[in-house]
Structure 1
């Protein structure tokens, strides 16, 4: 069975959807590639952002909750989400974030130059300068993330021994692993054990790992079942198939197929422009359109090149 080669997507919980769209579409310049609803709670949006082609490895997704109840970041959760930017793009992003009054810190994450900040709902974000040079300063996709495990060594061993990530560094503070695919997504597992987290606004719900097709997906389900990970049945998420399990440090993992992809019900040019409902909720369209909050102001949002 082939090792996990990259992150597929990361899913987080946020607040007001209009603020979410402004931050990720207008400020971070990601593309809204799908507006749909939560399969388990259709009164809630599920918004997907990514690169122009909506490729796995670039996808961050959000459940905007209509509540002010904040979560608590802690063990059993995904921590700071790091996007990769091209080498030499730090000055551009310094200027851009400053122009939008985003407070940030310059630091090091994954031993690379990093800008750390929070989004409009307190979610921890980073931009990490990669090794790839490009005239385009836009976000390339994920660089990686931190996993806030209640059992750091066990989580590291799951990543290394079960999912096939490579352990590249261990020190007194953390384990540092990376995926084996060309994207080289990086995972930090801090050794510090935090109090148990609570899901809510400003927290990450799960991280999804990418597999190429349905056959590989079924093989992973069988393997995880045999290793007693309590894996779920295969769930059809319309744009990919998904299985879920809680790893030994209580972080929610998903394994998702790369296909069929986001163009099965919208053209590439039209991605993200319309509310696309799962077939089982089409009968609710009129009610949902009335109840779901608007995603954008009518006025043109502030932007700079």
Structure 2
């Protein structure tokens, strides 16, 4: 059965070892793929997710060690929210205190308990306490018990000057429907999708412009079951909204097209197939540096430029 929803979110971080320590050792996500930015192979591309890296659990990073600090503004993704069992939120609040993670007090959003925090690059994140998900599979490691572990993406929050045109793309092309309003935020939900099934659009009018850099979210990817489903979405974008995408790009683990939505956020449509175990066994995902075939002849040069992760 195919699902709509978020496939992955990609952001920019500072030094790669620090990024790995936070997302693996502090948040307990699995490093499911260690590769490079195919368009800039002197930079790592690190993928974190659940045990197999299923769509809806993936957060990825381009670590640019010397980039300037970013600042969020309209036309950007403001926040990435992760799912955790509702009973585990107290554990996470204590863990953040223990680990020195910059975080806020508990709050409520659309009736759910929210623990907002920042990663070492200042990127905005949240843990959303979701009742009844304790039995869902979870990757447990780095002293985090399975009862407390993150269960994939909950949502993203987009910051828009006018959220209406963006909402039209979500509902008409990407498989979402409006699911509620709270203050200046409209919630959209993908029917039948639990992991990565929510997009919140916060309308801010003439909010000060942002500055792209470390801690910024680069793009937001949505799911397409396969090439045919992706092609149908591309056709609908052109026919009904006058938006053209890039040509399809093979990212080894999915195939993608990219476009700027009306509010200027960079959107991607990524296929669910073939998945992250296409080039290494599930048991050892993320352990070896994987390169696409066209970069293999440059492996020695690339490895020397990347430097160690730990």
TM interval, short-chain normalised: over 0.9
Does 1:196 find its partner at 2:209? yes
**Partners of 2:56 and 2:182 in 1: CA distance:** 27
Report how far residue 3 of structure 1 moved.
9.4
Q: Which residue of 2 aligns with 1:114?
A: 114
- Alignment deviations for residues 207-257 of structure 1 (CA, whole Å, 9 cap, x no partner): 100111111111112222223112111111110000111111111111100
Which residue of structure 2 aligns with residue 129 of structure 1? 129
> 1:64, CA displacement in angstroms?
0.3
In structure 2, how many angstroms separate the alpha carbons of the residues matched to 1:36 and 1:85?
27
Under a length normalisation based on structure 1, what TM-score does the superposition of the two structures give? Answer: 0.92
RMSD of equivalent CA atoms: 1.7
Q: Which residue of 1 is the match for residue 164 of structure 2?
A: 153
Q: 1:262 corresponds to which residue?
A: 276
Q: How big is the shift at 1:171?
A: 4.4
Matched positions, count? 295
The equivalent residue for 1:103 is 102
The TM-score with structure 2 as length reference comes to: 0.91
Q: State the Cα distance separating 1:157 from its structure 2 match.
A: 2.0
Q: Which moved more, 1:41-50 or 1:185-194?
A: 185-194
Aligned counterpart, 1:285:
299
Which runs of 5 or more residues in structure 1 are unaligned? Answer: 297-305
Cα 1:4–1:196 change in 2 (3 A) is: farther
User: Which 4+ residue blocks in structure 1 deviate beyond 4 angstroms?
Assistant: none
Deviations 1:260-294 (A, max 9, x none): 01111100011000110111111111011111132
- How far the C-alpha of 1:111 sits from its partner, in A, is 2.9
The Cα offsets for residues 52-108 of structure 1, whole Å up to 9 and x where unpaired, read as: 111110000000013141122111111110000012111211222121111311112
Unaligned runs of 5+ in 2: 135-145
**Cα separation, partners in 2 of 1:143 and 1:110, compared to 1, 3 Å:** farther
SS at match of 1:269: helix
State the match for 1:301 in structure 2.
none
Matched, 1:237 2:251: yes
Q: 2: CA distance between counterparts of 1:111 and 1:157?
A: 25
Contact persistence 1:172–1:191 (CA under 8 A): no
Q: Which moved more, 1:215-224 or 1:189-198?
A: 189-198
2:308 to 290, 294, 298: 294
CA shift, 1:155, in A, is 1.3
Task: Find 1:212's aligned residue among 205, 225, 240.
Answer: 225
